[in-house]
Amino acid sequence: MSEVGADKIPTHVAIVMDGNGRWAQARHLPRTVGHRKGVEAARAIIKACVKFEIKHLTLFAFSSENWRRPSGEVSALMELFLSALKREIKALVEQGVRLQFIGEREALNEKLQQEMARAEEQSAGQSRLYLNIAVNYGGRWDIAQAAQLAVKDAIERGEPVESLTPEQLAGFTALADQPDPDLFIRTGGEQRISNFLLWQLAYAELYFTDTLWPDFGEAELGQAVADFSRRQRRFGMTSEQVGGRV
């Protein structure tokens, strides 16, 4: 990180935190132990983002497809999520972290929904790091609900639906008030996006690592950011047009 200039630090990092279960199984431990270690890794990465002056961090905590997992694991994940939220919110606020959740909350139990809303309210005044947690989230759902809202808005304004632009639709997606991710990271060795921020990742740089999420810390994040800093981002232009800009 000492070699990375401030102008080459990504503004927004999005992470699929993969490998908790495999980390535990490799140690002959229950998968739930891996998920608890995953919470510790998330805590370390949040601190590292504050240190590196990354302004936005989005973590994929639970996808809309994760309901297909064994019911016991899903229940344990929800309990872990609730307890971690209660335990961590004070420290997050002290670090200047603003917390926001994206996804369909209606499927979550009422107690968890209330705790999520309380955490958002408690951290609303912070701005050092915007931390977004995707819970019961899917990229296709995000685009579908954005399209529904955009069409409804157009009709209410008396505008033809056919005139909707990508920019207008983007205004109704999750994280519409934040810049799109510059850097996407997936741990655990898999090389796919898995229905995460499909709209927002259109021009993100993709970084895949074999490191399992519980072992992914500040040093590993630094390596990902250093790799990002060496890439030329062209956004459809040629290298000659972009020149030395990253």
Give bridge partners of residue 195 from the DSSP assignment. Answer: none
Residues 49, 18, 111, 176, CA torsion sign:
positive
- The number of angstroms, rounded, from the C-alpha of 228 to the middle of its chain's C-alpha atoms is 17
Please give the angle made by the CA atoms of 136, 84 and 204, to the nearest 5 degrees.
50
Q: Residue 78, exposed/middle/buried by CB under 10 A (0-12, 13-18, 19+)?
A: middle
Note the Cα 14 to chain centre separation in Å.
4
Examine the residue annotation and report whether 195 is marked as an active-site residue of this protein. no
Active-site residue 182, yes or no? no
Among 20, 66, 177, 182, the one annotated catalytic: 66
Catalytic residue among 7, 18, 109, 142: 18
What is the distance of C-alpha 240 from the center of its chain? 33
**In the structure encoding, which two tokens stand for residue 230, read together?**
């060496």
User: Which of 115, 116, 123 has the alpha carbon at shortest distance from 94?
Assistant: 123
| Active site amino acids | 18, 66
